[in-house]
Structure 1
Amino acid sequence: MTGRRLQEISSVSSMTTGPSASKMPSPALFFFLGGLVTLIILLVLLFVFRKKIKPEDIKKLVAVVRRQPAASTDVFSGNLRTITYFDFKTLKKATKNFHSANLLGVGGFGPVYQGRLGDGKLIAAKKLCLNKSQQGESEFLTEVKLITSVQHKNLVRLIGCCSDGPQRLLVYEYMKNRSLDLIIYGKSGQFLKWSTRFQIIVGIARGLQYLHEDSPLRIIHRDIKASNILLDDKFQPRIGDFGLARFFPEDQAYLSTTFAGTLGYTAPEYAIRGELSEKADIYSFGVLVLEIISGRRNTDLTLSSEMQYLPEYAWKLFETANVINLIDPKMKEDGYVERDVLQAIQVAFLCLQPHANLRPPMSEVVAMLTCKVQMTGTPMKPAFLDRMRTKDQNISWDTITEAFPSPLQSESPSVAKPST
């Protein structure tokens, strides 16, 4: 009985290890088929996803995520830091419903209001007027992206922004002494002594040096003027309003672009031919320096004809050795160091030279102002732009000086190397 049982077991064993067992699928075949099925499923899902969900829906989804109304949540990332998102209700409350008593000023972008957040922090909220503004949505996005990419003590600091429905606002740190134009044009009743004016001039120069030469991105502001220079409680200047600013390729001498900026501060090659480079900012800086020293606007049609355009008037005084008469009479009463004022005026003339390639870079301007290098030579006569009304009241442009070439390679030859 036992022998018969062993025979049956042996028979079964031989059947399981016989030819039929050799025909079973191998593990490699299972892996191949499984991978193929998984790939087909993924392709089908991808096809359905692309058909059902449009790119516009993805953008809307991202927008909804960005607009989560938590004032403490950072949603816009810059190269160096992030800014905070504010909902419209928060800013409306901070400015007391944008009350006229809190109005700090009005620019091309729109009105700027003083506000106080719940924690007591003072802010300046710049509100975009989509229907009335000379600038628009693209300028709003430009300013947010650009100002979060740079950070310097002489650039205004953007705290946050608001993109809530149709509302577009930029939220800046509050500057106690507001904008430079209110002081130097005599609107505020404040007086700036020479040491403070010089501090402002050097601070603006250092801010421009950072934008042109030292920031991670090469940036041209395009609208350097007194109203875009803000002053903190110690009268340290901060360059503001980057709505017209442009990123500038490192490998190009200039860009051909449509003019945007403020007449009176505009470099001739940019106003006439649309040739934009950092030398356009340097020209604007030269005009601004003359304004700070003289305490008057670059254009004042209430004055006699020879005094109406500040750069032209200043050059006439320079040619007749009477440039000291350019100085603000109030500053004369307070006292100043004549040598330092005259040096600042000459630096302004170097920045106003007709050939863009003769204007010194801002690093040299800073060095000249702080006496780290010596100035040599005499600046050329600036290329004045005379604005004359035609019969149809459109503005035409004529250059008083001779024709000038495009801004090309060489830098200013009028600055000596630092002495050791």
Structure 2
Amino acid sequence: MSTGLLRASVCLLLLLFLHQKLAACADGADSFTYSGFRGANLTLDGVAAISSGGLLVVTDNTVQSKGHAFYRTPLRFKESPNGTVFSFSTTFVFAFISEPADLNGDGMAFLVSPTKDFSRALGNQYLGLFNLSSVGNSTNHVLAIELDTTRNPEFQDIDNNHVGIDINNLKSDESHTAGYYLNDTGSFQNLSLRSGQTMQVWVDYDSHEMILNVTLAPIAMAKPRRRLLSAVVNLSSVLLETMYVGFSASNGPFLTSHYVLGWSFKMNGVAQALDSSLLPSVPRAKSNHKLKVLRIGLPLASSTLVLIIVGTVVFILRRRGRYSELLEDWELEYGPHRFSYKDLFRAAKGFRDTELLGMGAFGRVYKGVLPSSGSEVAIKRVSHGSRQGMREFIAEIVSLGRLRHRNLVQLLGYCRRQGELLLVYDYMPNGSLEKFLHDQAKPALDWATRFRIIKGVASGLLYLHEDWEQVVVHRDIKASNVLLDNELNGRLGDFGLARLYDHGTDPQTTHVVGTMGYLAPELARTGKATTITDVFAFGAFLLEVACGRRPVDPTAHEEQLVLQDWVVEKWRKGSILETRDPTLGEEYAVEEVELVLKLGLLCSHPLPTKRPSMRQVVRYLEGHAPLPELSPANLSFSLLALLRKEGFDDQIMSCPSSSVATASVLSGGR
């Protein structure tokens, strides 16, 4: 054999060897199988942990928490940055345990991500994946298979028990109610993700056909032949060359543990089957009932021993009296929403003045840090002198805790102690919008920020009025109840006066509560708080944000006493833009300011039938529909005169920041 032929043979052998190595890398080197997670090569953050029994606990029994677990090493999903994504297959076994069983956290997702750092992601409905600014961005490069146990209308969820395929977003490309199809009949069988039942998921991507399949079944079953979800999607533009695989989960105010029992993954092949006999066991849900009385029988041998026991009991009672609280039998069913006074007392450092965030008509608000989770919260202390209606009110507080929207402040729960009710909310670091509008010490907000806040509050109100399972009438919409998060997004808060009723039913007459200037004139006559009275308050809010003035200002000149009347008069004279907040300067969008001023007048129209719904309001603000033709002549009668005619007297009119009701819902007006 010649030297040239020998060299050619060697080169050919080397090329074949390299090709085999590349094929091995693409066809099976990137694979792993965990039957339990003891000693697993995982990166954990948040509350995620591996239990002593080998369970992967993505979130534990902690409220307002999130957790992530990733395979520590990135996997190669492409041969080159611009190449085609490899086929891949994964399967995992999971279970969700809630306490109590009928109230659950937000769910869990399997994800493929370019990073393991989700420190800026939000929990609750965001599943620990995105935040307000990142959700929906194509730069996320995230594929997620969500197992969602909460219906969030803002993400167009189909129900509160579904599986979804998410690409860079929480609005699923494809979704289906959780369940599986029988092989013999093809009929669909529902599965409840929150049932505590152990289930298995299979995720398979065929890069040649560009088809992503998701299958779900109880652990005792083999993989069904028919897929639950099947979507045609080209992941080559979504996934990068190397990616991490793992899980993310989150809890809101409900106690849920999200467990993964086993996990298998393989690139360019079928993931190894999991042997259910090798998987760890899932703990049973603990009982939520508490013993109310501990009975201790001690033999008394002498009078000295009696004195010792009596002294000890007195000491303990005095010490516990500091943290004593009211707890009745009917409240046990609301377990997750009930905070202990001891925890809240410690969270707010004994409710010192240094932790005081503000004071309102119904109580003081303190900043706190929960000792169990380190979460920052706002704690509102409200006096209640009567037990009348308290059970119904607490039931509504628990219901309101299930509200989930990015423009609502999350109500986490409550505590009762002696003559106090304590309401616990998410903490908003930038405080209320009112301070930015009326406090000289705060910097003025530019128009773009104000307009974003307005649209956010409108979106939150639409959710309350139409998109949630019940109708929620807030009854106290005003700038001081719009709180700003760390990105200056507006969130409507303080649901202490909110009323709930079923869609299609008529709200009941109640005490008139709220703040003068935001109260619809018909309230004094009917006593019925409805969605349309909320719209009136929102209209007053729109004018306040655009003009930088309170709806009623007794210190102003007579023509400016009622903000709505002043704006109408300026509009009649052809100078409506002169009512804008002077701190805006010349940096504002003329069309948007004019839209907000006219929409504010329309929403706060004295005649209820003339006001739009919040769905129409959102369409106007988003530019999806033109504002109806309006003229100042249609609004050119005095709101001040009408309010007096309806029964709001001069004394009340002179106190624009006070609440009308002398007896609030928390003191028997429920």
How high is the TM-score relative to the length of structure 1?
0.69
Counterpart for residue 174 of structure 1: 427
What is the distance in 2 between the residues matched to 1:290 and 1:322? 15
Counterpart for residue 277 of structure 1: 530
What is the distance in 1 between the residues matched to 2:395 and 2:638? 31
How far does residue 272 in structure 1 lie from its aligned partner after superposition? 3.2
What is the distance in 1 between the residues matched to 2:454 and 2:508? 27
The answer to whether 1:122 aligns with 2:376 is: yes
The answer to whether 1:225 aligns with 2:478 is: yes
Contact in 2 for aligned 1:152/1:207 (Cα 8 Å): yes
Distance 1:138 1:351, change over 3 A: farther
Counterpart for residue 665 of structure 2: none
Counterpart for residue 34 of structure 1: none
Q: Deviations over 1:253-275 (max 9, x none)?
A: 66443322111101111133324
Distance 1:106 1:145, change over 3 A: same
Counterpart for residue 18 of structure 1: none
Distance 1:237 1:136, change over 3 A: farther
Contact in 2 for aligned 1:222/1:261 (Cα 8 Å): yes
Counterpart for residue 339 of structure 1: 591
Unaligned runs of 5+ residues in structure 2 are 1-288, 294-322, 326-330, 655-670
Counterpart for residue 297 of structure 1: 550
Counterpart for residue 444 of structure 2: 191
Aligned counterpart in structure 2 of residue 358 of structure 1, from 568, 585, 610: 610
Farther off after superposition, 163-172 or 286-295: 163-172
Where does 1:55-74 land on structure 2 (aligned, <5 Å)?
64=292
Aligned counterpart in structure 2 of residue 369 of structure 1, from 621, 626, 638: 621
The answer to whether 1:144 aligns with 2:397 is: yes
Counterpart for residue 158 of structure 1: 411
Contact in 2 for aligned 1:209/1:363 (Cα 8 Å): yes
Counterpart for residue 50 of structure 1: none
Distance 1:342 1:273, change over 3 A: same
Contact in 1 for aligned 2:401/2:413 (Cα 8 Å): no
Unaligned runs of 5+ residues in structure 1 are 1-60, 70-74, 398-420
Farther off after superposition, 305-314 or 185-194: 185-194
Farther off after superposition, 237-246 or 160-169: 160-169
Counterpart for residue 102 of structure 2: none
Counterpart for residue 385 of structure 1: 640
Counterpart for residue 320 of structure 2: none
Query: After the TM superposition, which parts of structure 1 deviate over 6 Å for at least 4 consecutive aligned residues?
Result: 75-78, 387-390
Q: Which AA in structure 1 matches 2:555?
A: T
Count of matched residue pairs: 324
Distance 1:145 1:63, change over 3 A: farther
Aligned counterpart in structure 2 of residue 110 of structure 1, from 347, 363, 369: 363
Farther off after superposition, 235-244 or 141-150: 141-150
Q: Which has the higher helix share?
A: 1
Where does 1:71-110 land on structure 2 (aligned, <5 Å)?
83-110=336-363
Contact in 2 for aligned 1:140/1:168 (Cα 8 Å): no
What is the distance in 1 between the residues matched to 2:538 and 2:563? 13
Distance 1:384 1:167, change over 3 A: closer
Aligned counterpart in structure 2 of residue 349 of structure 1, from 601, 605, 609: 601
Contact in 2 for aligned 1:139/1:244 (Cα 8 Å): no
What is the distance in 2 between the residues matched to 1:367 and 1:76? 43
Distance 1:148 1:229, change over 3 A: same
The answer to whether 1:243 aligns with 2:496 is: yes
How far does residue 83 in structure 1 lie from its aligned partner after superposition? 4.2
Distance 1:246 1:305, change over 3 A: same
Q: Which has the higher strand share?
A: 2
What is the distance in 1 between the residues matched to 2:444 and 2:481? 19
SS across alignment from 2:368: strand
SS across alignment from 1:172: strand
SS across alignment from 1:156: coil
What is the distance in 1 between the residues matched to 2:405 and 2:333? 17
Contact in 1 for aligned 2:476/2:515 (Cα 8 Å): yes
What is the distance in 1 between the residues matched to 2:506 and 2:415? 36
How far does residue 88 in structure 1 lie from its aligned partner after superposition? 1.4
SS across alignment from 1:141: helix
SS across alignment from 1:162: strand
Contact in 1 for aligned 2:546/2:581 (Cα 8 Å): yes
Distance 1:309 1:63, change over 3 A: farther
Distance 1:186 1:395, change over 3 A: closer
How far does residue 396 in structure 1 lie from its aligned partner after superposition? 8.1
Q: Deviations over 1:123-161 (max 9, x none)?
A: 111112235x9x995796265234124221111112232
What is the distance in 1 between the residues matched to 2:369 and 2:429? 13
Q: Which AA in structure 2 matches 1:344?
A: V
Distance 1:263 1:146, change over 3 A: farther
SS across alignment from 2:414: strand
How far does residue 338 in structure 1 lie from its aligned partner after superposition? 0.5
What is the distance in 2 between the residues matched to 1:77 and 1:318? 55
Aligned counterpart in structure 1 of residue 575 of structure 2, from 319, 322, 326: 322
SS across alignment from 1:114: strand
How far does residue 395 in structure 1 lie from its aligned partner after superposition? 4.5
Q: Whose RCO is larger (CA < 8 A, sep 6+)?
A: 2
How far does residue 376 in structure 1 lie from its aligned partner after superposition? 3.0
SS across alignment from 1:280: helix
SS across alignment from 1:128: strand
**Aligned alpha-carbon RMSD (Å):** 3.2
Distance 1:231 1:274, change over 3 A: same
Distance 1:383 1:239, change over 3 A: farther
Q: Which AA in structure 2 matches 1:208?
A: L
Aligned counterpart in structure 1 of residue 516 of structure 2, from 255, 258, 263: 263
Identity %: 36
Contact in 1 for aligned 2:396/2:500 (Cα 8 Å): no
SS across alignment from 1:234: coil
Q: Which AA in structure 2 matches 1:373?
A: A
Counterpart for residue 267 of structure 2: none
Contact in 2 for aligned 1:176/1:231 (Cα 8 Å): yes
Q: Deviations over 1:235-256 (max 9, x none)?
A: 1111112222112343346644
